[in-house]
A and B are shown apart, each in its own frame.
Chain A
Amino acid sequence: MTLWRREVIRFIRQRSRLISAFAQPLVFWLLLGAGLGQSFHPSGAPETTRYFEYLFVGIIVLVLLFTAIFATISIVQDRREGFLQGVLVAPVSRGSIVLGQALGGTTLALLQGVLFLCLAPVVGVSLSISSTAATIGIIALLAFGLTNLGLMIAWRMDSPQGFHAIMNLILFPIWILSGAFFPISGVPAFFEWVMKLNPLTYGVAALRRCLYLHDAAGVGEIPQLTLSLLITSLFCILTYVGAARTAAS
């Protein structure tokens, strides 16, 4: 798909994008991990799990979220700069246009996510071949879902500023309330419900389960793998359909 290829070429040519999508979460991780690590132990997780390690999974998801957002901002730009017009009058269905854009974003997010995954041994997570493969699979799935979610919003927007506002208002809270930042156990009842209804909670859980494939006790109290996978897949399908429909209208 040609839109996918274009997205990747553009990304490689824009170094600043590459760096910011990677460095931002890294800085986040180091600052939050170091700052909160002493005073905060993730409740429900084993005694040996430090906050640094707990946050690691969350930061991978944040990398995916940022890359997905950057990729979808380019859709808003494409429209402003007129590039999209040329695509819209071509004999290509709206569904495949969205698919191309989504796969482009997914590829970039996957690259960055895997790059971050290389830091796993630093926090003391040992990776086997099977757990690495499973983790990469989940990262790809999550990246696809998040990019679609971004596209769904981006196709309605006509300015990057508007997109930033939505991002802060919707996407960031979704991340915070997904168990990426703090565990679900021990939060007030209202939050617990919000977190249980948040689809990303299951994405984060799936990622955590895969990363600790051989150490089921290491993850604490989070949703089961099958349920998490099911909901994450469903999330991907729904967001894709949503994005394709938004594009068609």
Chain B
Amino acid sequence: MHPIEVENLHHAYGDRQALVGVTLDVPQGEIFGVLGPNGGGKTTLFKILSTLITANNGTVRLFGYDQTDKPHEVRKHLGVVFQHPSLDLKLTAVENLRHHGHLYGLWGKALNRRIQVVIDQLGLSERGADLVEALSGGLRRRVELAKAILHQPNLLLLDEPSTGLDPGIRQQFRLHLQYLREQDGTTIVLTTHILDEAEWCDRVGILDEGRLVAIGTPAALKEQVGADVVIIDASNPEALADRIKQRFGYGFTLVDRSLRVECAQGHEFARDVVAAFPQEIQSVRFGKPTLEDVFVKATGHGFSESAINENRDQA
């Protein structure tokens, strides 16, 4: 039994399909990242996992409990960090934690001990008595995390945890999560639209237009793409693509007005192609595949491009 077992999950808001046939398992102690552009279905998946909504179709079992039949059992195991803050601004950080502890059946000395542990762990001891409305965004985020792990959940769910955090704090946040996994064996699922954030997850699932288009470790996913990726910028990319194809035999994908090709000997191709079309080419980039390349290969379109289309659909 895995902490998360999702089978053939479908969910729609009216006519708009938010999730289409998503199947995935997350084993104990894994940090799993759900990567996708905004509007790709991440938040819907998150809401279903956190028991806020029930899916139209399909089964979700958390720790062996069916999420629809036994939401109460499921909730005991969950720690949740929402994208939007869920703290009471008029209470102090410690009061927020105490209140949260009560909701999870923690009282008295046991609760005070846990509060002490989490505020020490997250470096909040000096600000614990301050009203939350007086804390900075980064500190509030830490209180959110403290709240979510206060009752030592087996599964920690985080929706876009690094939204609004500067890079230094983002790094700290990541270390906290890794520490939790090492220390308590907590299973962690986070959603993100930031490619870098997905890089350090044990496994990544890529969600686009409600479909899980790829799943695996970041390394394995990148290996599937091929050896090297060459990206060419040109004033007239379509015309250039035809001419390069005639000459070198490579097929291109056009992503965000750039030509993109996967090939085994990327450095040689880059040299040759610049020599062949010095006038037409503005720049050539060459590198090892990234998760963005994985996304492009799986969906046939660019990561930011699909986000733009989604936004247009919603508008």
Contact = CB atoms under 8 A, between A and B. Distances in A.
Nearest to B98: A2
Contacts, number: 60
Contacts of A9: 90-91, 95
A93 B72 contact: yes
A2 B99 CA distance: 6
Given A9-B95, A10-B90, A13-B90, A89 B75 contact: yes
A81 B85 contact: yes
A89 B51 contact: yes
A126 interface: no
B90 A82 contact: no
Most chain B beta-carbon neighbours within 10 Å: one of A13, A88, A89: A89
Number of chain B interface residues as a range = 20 to 34
Interface of B: 50-52, 72-73, 75-76, 78, 80, 82, 84-91, 95, 98-100, 102-105, 147
Nearest to B159: A85
A92 B102 CA distance: 10
Contact of B103 (A82, A85, A92): A92
Nearest to B105: A91
Nearest to A90: B103
A239 B170 CA distance: 46
A14 B90 CA distance: 9
Contact of B104 (A5, A81, A84, A91): A91
Contacts of A13: 90
B100 A86 contact: yes
Given A88-B52, A89-B52, A90-B75, A83 B87 contact: yes
Contacts of A85: 52, 80, 82, 84, 86
Contacts of A14: 90
Contact of B147 (A2, A86, A88, A92): A86
Interface string A57-88: 00000000000000000000000011111111
Contacts of A2: 98-99, 102-103
Contacts of B72: 91, 93
B108 to A, nearest CB: 13
